Amino acid sequence: MQMLGQFLAWYIVVMLIGLAALPLTLRLFENLPDRGYAFARILGILLTGYLFWLAYSFGLVRFEPGAAWLVLLAVLGISVLAARKQWSAWRTARATINWRYVLVVELLFLLAFAAWATVRAYDPAANHTEKPMDLMFMNSIRGSAIYPPQDAWLSGQPISYYYFGYWMLTTLGQLSGQPPEIAYNLGQACWYGLLLTGSFAIVYNLLRLAGRRFNVAAAGGLLSAVMVGVAANVQGILEWLYAMGVPIGPIAAFFQVPGFPQEAAVTGKWYIDSGWWWWRSSRVIEDLDLMGNHIEVIDEFPAFSYILGDNHPHVLAMPFVLLVIALALNLLLARVSRAQSAPASGSVTAQRAFARLHALMPLGWGGWLVLALATGALLFFNTWDYPFYWLLIVAALFFALLWEWRRSGDQRGVAWALGLAVAAGVGMAVAAWLLYLPYFLTAQSQARGIIPNLFNPTKLPQFLAMFAAAMLLMGALVWLAWREVRPKLVQLVGVGAVVFGAPILFLLVSGFIVANTEAGAEMRAGMALPDGAQGHAPFMLERWLGQPFTFLLLGVLVACVLALIWRRTAPDVDFDASPAARPLLFALLMAALGLGLVFAPEFVFLRDNFGSRMNTIFKFYYQAWLLFGLAGAYTATIALGGWRGWRIGPAIMSTIAVVLVLASTVYILAGAYAKTGGLSGEATFDATAYLAAASPDEMTAIQWLRANTRPDDVIVEAKGGSYRVNMNRVSSMTGRPTLLGWDGHESQWRGVAYGKMAAGRAEALEAIYRAGAPEQIEALVDQWGIDYVFVGPAERTAYGVTPSSEERLRRVMDLVFESGAVTIYRAR
């Protein structure tokens, strides 16, 4: 009953947020067939979370439930005001919202939310991978009554990470009366629902725009939801087939996925086994250093992320990425009335440009503000995402401006539209920076430029293990688009030259610099050569000549897609002639972006603490999966609707892709079942409930600390280490700051600033726990503002704390809690 109450409370709150934002959503997305209904919840959560964060940042509110509810009321007020001029029109328009559509969306959300809540209920524990980190952020936010939210793993410092997603989860927890340990799991399940409904809605809208009936559009939307949030890569299918005893040796050998099938087992069980067999699907890409050693590369996709269950920024950002994509589509569809159009002749002044931009967007400048807020939010959710979708917005705006000019008789051309679109994009970026300025003032970054990918072109079989279905669908899309409006040869050649030539030139130049100059010495130092090797250049050539196929395949696809897009800028292309023209263009834009995202890591990656492609491929492929899913579902639905003549080609390709997609859904079913131990054990949403059985004394101590200490009390624990889940439990589960938590992660988040911030902390912990004299402990307590010292099993193990050595603490601090092996001392 309690769990049902928690679920219902969260569901009701999310529904209320959606209802509050619905008037604004219907007004803003008036160009979409569904008027944005499916995005009301996402937009409402964004507005509520943002306004709450902004008010909190300026000290107008504390982080408390009353403030969150007041902000929600404010969102309702804004929403009603924004749509006030439409009330009478909506009252008379009978078909404002398609009620069948509403039913499908609501059912989809509820089913996805409930289903994933069930999964989480049987696998709630935040006791593995990076879940303690996620929980720490949520508890830190909740415990930070005033801005900025403190970092519980580095006392005295604010959080330096893109924490907007955690902020959203914790805010919804406040509204629904759930603490972070419950909000952790319920929030994830809710986000799964948002992911599926958002994916559904985008493709549904595209298909309705293309003139498809409701049933077909809904089917396409559901396919999109499956492709984005349910499907797995080919490896997911292979794992299952192998476990069932199907002889797939040659296939496995072809794909060359590391550790498969050597580390797999034939079990005959539909869920394979209770181990982490599903992990391998996220590691199908393999890089090798010059010695031939494995370098880990992460190629996650949403189904994997949800099975793993970590609430990471890239997961939490996804629904809001879908919102931005929907806004981009809405923008592309904008049609300015004749009365609002600028005159066909005359110079383009800034005033006219502004007027044009104002007229394009529903709600005028208010609409642009929402757009800037939504795209800027990606900087705060998962900074990596921002540039890609900024590009999508600018591209959509470019085409919208171009067509509007042409419709009004203005033959000004591509350059003006592009210039204005880019200028608007820059303005939007500046607005986003201003809107989220309080975050930027406290954040540090670990990114330090780009590095050429000289030695690790992706093996084609591994790439196909990841994106086989997507590549088939992208090929089908190119085919469909080619048949509709064929690019000119000069366009194709020109684009191809750039697409292939630029990276090759870049690699050649970079390779030369790395191999032969002093400037490249630092990079050479990080790439040890095997004995007898002559230099780095031969390795480069050998690697690239040995496996160029991914680069070639992607280059061809990128060139084709870009050429197709370029062709559509021509004056002779009339987008009002065919209803499918605009949605097809939008699919091409998404495809271009997705292909670009998987193409770029072939020749460049971002410099970070890892020093490899791992993070770049991780972040880029994740977004590409989403974009391929959306564009692919649209393509498949269109292609499968026609089997005559030339259309049979795309239809066959789409059929194979859909079969792969549907077959791969066994992954999430088996994976969820395996991860939850067959849905066994006691169900709970509490991410910390496991501790009561694992370490009852620690649990009692943590409950005591929650009840008897202030949220900003500094509670010292042993220095943690990345992924060491048995350490820093207090700070993770209470949000009370400790001197130093997972130092590896702190270093990643803060980059070069970390050294100075963390100086002296590890030594202080050594002195407190191990060998410092009482006077020294007293001085350190004063120096670091320590309120409590926690001595638990982790501290005893890490520092060898014994009852006799604890005497040093008793001499200068008061013993306030004792239970078994856990003691807590308070500063005097």
Partner 1 sequence: MSEQVAVLETGARGVGAQASAPPDTQVQWLSLEHAAYAAVMVAAAIMRFANLGWAPLNSLEAAHAWPAWLAGSGQHVVNAPSRRARCFTECNRCCSLSGRMASSGHGSFRPSWACCWSACPGSGAVGSGGIPALLLAVFFAVDPWLVVFGRTADSTGLTLFFALLSLTALWRWRTATNRAARVGWERIGAVSLAFLVVSGPTAWSFIPVLLLMFFLFVWPITAEDRRTGALPSSLLWFAGALLLGATGFLMRPEATRAVAGSLTAWLEQARPGTGMAYPFWWPWVRLVADQPFLVIFGPIGLLVLALGKGEPRHGRRLALFLGVWLLWAVALMLLPGRSPFVLPLAGIPLAIAAVSVFGPLSKLHIDHISGLEITILIVVTTILLGSSAVWLAKLVESGVFSSEAILAAAILLGLMFVVWIAFGFWAGWEPALKLVGFFFLAVLLALTIHSSWLLNQETRLMRPSGFWQETTLPEARLLAQDIQRISSMRTGDPTQTEIQVITPDDPDPVLCWLLRDFRNVLWLRAPRSSTVLTDYPNDQPLIVTGAELAGDPVLANYLGSNYGIRTAWSIDQLPALPPVAPDQQGLPQEELERLRAQQAWSLSTQPRLEWLLYRNVKNSPVVAPVTLWAASAGN
Min separation Cβ 768 and partner 1, Å = 18
Structure tokens at 333: 């569809």
Rounded Cα distance between 382 and 275, Å, is: 30
Min separation Cβ 65 and partner 1, Å = 5
Amino acid at 437: L
Min separation Cβ 827 and partner 1, Å = 11
Min separation Cβ 826 and partner 1, Å = 8
Asked whether the beta carbons of 400 and 331 are under 8 A apart, the reply is yes
Min separation Cβ 819 and partner 1, Å = 15
Locate all alpha helices (DSSP H) within 485-613, ordered by sequence.
489-516, 521-525, 536-546, 549-567, 581-599
Contacting residues for 246 by C-beta, under 8 A, at least 6 apart: none
Nearer to partner 1, 644 or 828 (CB): 828
Kindly list the residues in this chain that would bind partner 1 in the complex (CB under 8 A): 59-62, 64-67, 69-70, 177, 810, 814-816, 826, 828
Nearer to partner 1, 106 or 712 (CB): 712
Nearer to partner 1, 36 or 149 (CB): 149
Asked whether the beta carbons of 122 and 680 are under 8 A apart, the reply is yes
Min separation Cβ 299 and partner 1, Å = 44
Rounded Cα distance between 543 and 731, Å, is: 46
Nearer to partner 1, 64 or 574 (CB): 64
Min separation Cβ 170 and partner 1, Å = 15
Amino acid at 741: G
The DSSP result for 588-653, as a single string, is HHHHHHHHHHHHGGGTEEE--TT-SSHHHHHHHHHHHHHHHHHHHHHHHHHHTT--SGGGHHHHHH
Nearer to partner 1, 73 or 694 (CB): 73
Helices 414-435 and 365-381, packing angle to 10 deg: 60
Nearer to partner 1, 69 or 482 (CB): 69
Rounded Cα distance between 443 and 311, Å, is: 20
Phi, psi of 716 (to 5 degrees): -80, 135
Query: Do the strands 788-791 and 294-296 form a parallel or antiparallel pair, or are they unpaired?
Result: unpaired
Nearer to partner 1, 69 or 214 (CB): 69
Provide the sign of the torsion angle of the four alpha carbons 816, 822, 825, 826, taken in this order: negative
Structure tokens at 230: 């349910």
Min separation Cβ 811 and partner 1, Å = 9
Min separation Cβ 771 and partner 1, Å = 22
Q: Classify residue 455 as left (phi > 0), alpha (psi -120 to 50) or beta.
A: alpha
Min separation Cβ 378 and partner 1, Å = 28
Contacting residues for 217 by C-beta, under 8 A, at least 6 apart: 203, 204, 205, 207, 208, 637
671 C-beta neighbours (distance < 10 Å), count: 27
Nearest to 323 by CA among 10, 15, 44: 44
Nearer to partner 1, 746 or 806 (CB): 806
Nearer to partner 1, 179 or 229 (CB): 179
Min separation Cβ 77 and partner 1, Å = 11
Contacting residues for 659 by C-beta, under 8 A, at least 6 apart: none
Amino acid at 452: P
Nearest to 777 by CA among 716, 702, 713, 731: 716
Min separation Cβ 142 and partner 1, Å = 13
